[in-house]
Chains A and B, each alone.
Chain A
Amino acid sequence: MASIDLDKMLAKIKSTQWALSDIDWDAPGAELITEEQWPKLKDFMADLMWIEHVGARAFAAMAKKAPTDTLREIYTYFHAEEQRHANAEMALMKRWGMLEGDEIPEPNINLRLVIEWLDRYSDEMPVYVLGTVVPMLEIALDGALCTFLLETVKDPVCHQAFEKINDDESRHLGVGFSVMEMQGRGKTFIGAAKMLAPLLDPRLMLGIASYVPLLNKMRDNIITMGLPEERLYAAMAKFEKIGGRTEDGRRNPWFQVIRQHARFVVDRNNRAYHLPVDGMVKLTGLIPRRALPAVPSWVKELTYQPTA
């Protein structure tokens, strides 16, 4: 991917805005959700919505550390756009009768830990750390989940919403990969090593400790929903393919870290990785909700209502 003109991208982002009220959430088609689909879809949508929301918070952190004004503004828009995706997905849940009253569905414990970490430490992280992790999450989880959703759900309103969401996401990925390349450009060995220094930062270690089990947890959820896990791995392979297509991209040490990690995740036979990580998933599952601090207030900004 040739690197993109970020100023043009920003103009494009501004000129392609959409709102929840552009979609008729009461249009016919909700009945196309089968009874068998319904409970699985409910869990699936809740996970998806939370991933978007977590992505949103990550973009907010990146906006703080962005190296240029243009990139800062782009990330500010992406922050809001991810929130819009979460809002739209919640509106779909509402349409399908999956929300009890006005209640926001609970995030699973691993997402909850990631939310906690993002809230406390993400603003302190250098832009290249989140700048690599976020494209991975977007391409893998978003990518795999969205395709699966569109294949199995016949409701036209769902298709209408995801057409818009996917258009946004393609821009997010375009910028994401371009920035990864920017960060790798002309990096010497020492420069690259410096970029890896935050790995020794205990705050980042905590972040890794919440990110790693999240991926395995999501894999398990995907299997429960009936999506073959290979689909997830195929999406993760795209990260390696696109992120590593230029020398600059490959020179970004964080690309190498995330790529290597993805290889571990994909290889089910790698017991040295999966045994402890699956253990972590189980262990985190035992954390009582009461032990966690109250959810940060940005979480309460979610809404399924097109107008306020």
Chain B
Amino acid sequence: MLIVGAGFAGLGMAIRLKQAGIDDFVILERANAVGGTWRDNQYPGAACDIPSNLYSYSFAPNPNWSRSFSGSEEILGYIHHLVAEFKLESHIRFEKNVEDLSFDEKKGVWTATTDKGEKFAGRAAVMAQGPLSNCSFPAITGIEDFKGHKIHSARWDHDYDFADKKVAVIGTGASGIQIIPELVKQAKHVKVFQRTPGWVMPRPDFATPQWNKKLFEKLPASQQAMRNLLYWTHESMALAVIWNSPLTRVAERVARLHLRRQVKDRWLRRQLTPDFTIGCKRVLVSNDYYPALQKDNAKLITWPIARISEKGIRTVEGIEHQVDCIVFATGFDVSHSGTPFPVKGRKGRVLGDEWQGGAQAYKSINVSGYPNLYMTFGPNSGPGHNSALVYMESQLDYAVKGVQKILQEDLKVLDVKESVQRKHNKAMQKRLAKTNWNSGCKSWYLTEDGFNATMYPGFATQYAAQMADFEENDYETA
């Protein structure tokens, strides 16, 4: 077995395989440490916006979360704990950057080739490289002229000292609104360049009292009850976030009240008020973003950026905002239409070519023509309202069922039928058309043409039901 990537997905896959009695697998990791997104995103203020009791694996509960919404460092600690607890270290091969993944139909074997030419083979492969693992500086005119320091949020420079520095932050998405309050505390001055304001909800974040940790430890059922409560609370949010319903208006009202309570100035409030339906883009949660923007050493700038110059950022109102450092909180390079490395299936087909018009899969996990290959967070598996790890667990269990079948029946090929996949996607796009994501705003969920290859249009419970059955008739075998 091959697993590509040692983040939450790859490690979770490894744990579930082990628990199913499958021990013969390797995890290929391009970096020299585990953790994926949580290893890369260690910028100041980095945290998960789903409560930790839900943003963790149900098969590996952690009674010791220090807060309701844990920071990036603590989440990374949990991931390290998973590696130790389930003895995964010996399976991981670090600095193995996969550059090609090819299927040999005769042998029924997937071969991964790394950038150094090393080859690893397995009867099945799991692509767990993560949807948010690549990032790059945005294509703003003049970016290469800038003589100051540049930092990308997902590749933080921990050696840079912000004290006495004038800093610009470009981007006010999920990363930006976490970084900004921290930078305002450290830097001399922070200018925040916003293109589109997002909906910001208050964040009910509390430190976990000691008795609570003890209770979860002594009585695991109490933590499971808490997890269930959080799960169903988030499920109910789907009604507001995924579809345009009366609850959508309620959610917008809550966000507006949050803004009104924290920002007194009418013009600033106007600058921060979104003009799209809540849920169309990712919903943000923060208690300290709005107050940070109003500190004396902070300023929100909503003029469009004309170009980056040697000394700073020129905006269309004709002013050059000179800074020592630009922080790009501009998100990730999310691929809707390609693959991170060439994936070659039966009869020489190349997945990237087939996906040019937008990625499609069966139940987000298998693609016809690419047998014995499982994807985590494949096409149309993204949640907008619930924990990604809840979705992940159903994917992992589905993959285990597939792998078990391959091994038990000694199959060379377990390939989803093309007609089944087509029918699945037709229904999927029909359902997506009715969601807020497809309601007209631009977001990283959509391709340039507005095709939604990212999100799952339903409740997490519906997704889990979709993944619960492994329908043998949907597959052809050899």
Contacts and interface: CB of A to CB of B under 8 A. Distances in A.
Q: Decide whether A and B are members of one complex.
A: yes
A308 B321 CA distance: 5
Contacts of A119: 266-267
B270 A80 contact: no
Given A21-B314, A84-B318, A296-B267, 5 more contacts: A77-B304, A81-B317, A84-B316, A307-B312, A308-B320
Contact of A307 (B275, B304, B317, B322): B322
B265 interface: yes
B320 A80 contact: no
A73 B275 CA distance: 13
Given A87-B317, A296-B267, A297-B268, A80 B322 contact: no
Contacts of A64: 275
Contacts of B306: 14, 17, 19
Interface string A140-169: 000000000000000000000000000000
Of B306, B311, B322, chain A has the most CB atoms within 10 Å of the CB of B306
Contacts of A20: 318-320
A245 B320 CA distance: 41
A84 B307 contact: no
Contact of A21 (B275, B316, B320): B320
A67 B312 CA distance: 34
Interface string B313-347: 01111111110000000000000000000000000
A216 interface: no
Contacts of A77: 304, 316
Contacts of B470: none
Interface in A70-96: 73, 76-77, 80-81, 83-84, 87-88
B319 A305 contact: yes
A123 interface: yes
Given A17-B307, A19-B314, A306 B265 contact: no
Contacts of B319: 19-20, 87, 303, 305-308
Contacts of B232: none
A64 to B, nearest CB: 6
A123 B270 contact: yes
Of B268, B275, B318, chain A has the most CB atoms within 10 Å of the CB of B318
Contacts of A123: 270
B275 A297 contact: no
B320 A306 contact: yes
Contacts of A303: 319
A24 B449 CA distance: 44
A296 B266 contact: yes
A298 to B, nearest CB: 5
Interface string B294-311: 000000000110110001
Interface in B43-93: none
A308 B268 CA distance: 19
Contacts of A80: 303-304, 315-317
Interface in A261-308: 296-298, 301, 303, 305-308
A301 B303 CA distance: 11
Given A17-B306, A19-B306, A83-B303, A297 B320 contact: no
A18 interface: yes
A19 B265 contact: no
B321 A17 contact: no
21 contacts: A17-B306, A19-B318, A19-B319, A19-B320, A20-B319, A20-B320, A69-B442, A76-B304, A80-B316, A81-B317, A83-B303, A84-B318, A87-B317, A119-B266, A297-B265, A297-B267, A297-B268, A305-B319, A306-B319, A306-B320, A308-B321
Interface of A: 14, 17-21, 64, 69, 73, 76-77, 80-81, 83-84, 87-88, 119, 123, 296-298, 301, 303, 305-308
Contacts of B265: 297
Nearest to A23: B318
Nearest to B265: A297
A80 B301 CA distance: 11
A132 to B, nearest CB: 23
Given A17-B307, A83-B303, A119-B266, A308 B322 contact: yes
A19 B309 CA distance: 11
Contacts of B267: 119, 296-298
A307 B320 contact: yes
Given A76-B304, A296-B266, A308-B321, A17 B316 contact: yes
Contacts of B311: 307
A180 B306 CA distance: 27
Of A87, A88, A301, A303, chain B has the most CB atoms within 10 Å of the CB of A301
B90 to A, nearest CB: 53
Nearest to B312: A307
A81 B316 contact: yes
A18 B307 CA distance: 10
Nearest to B314: A19
A88 B318 contact: yes
Contacts of B442: 69
Contacts of B318: 18-20, 83-84, 87-88, 306
A160 to B, nearest CB: 14
* Top 6 closest pairs, chain A to chain B, by CB: A84-B318, A80-B316, A17-B306, A83-B317, A20-B318, A80-B303
Nearest to A84: B318
Contacts of B303: 80, 83
Contacts of A73: 304
Of B303, B314, B317, chain A has the most CB atoms within 10 Å of the CB of B317
Nearest to B166: A308
Nearest to B306: A17
Contacts of A88: 318
Nearest to A307: B320
Contacts of A84: 316-318
Of A17, A69, A303, A306, chain B has the most CB atoms within 10 Å of the CB of A17
B130 to A, nearest CB: 31
Nearest to B191: A308
Contacts of B275: 64
Nearest to A20: B318
A50 to B, nearest CB: 16
Nearest to B307: A17
Interface string B247-284: 00000000000000000011110100001000000000
B343 to A, nearest CB: 34
A77 B320 CA distance: 16
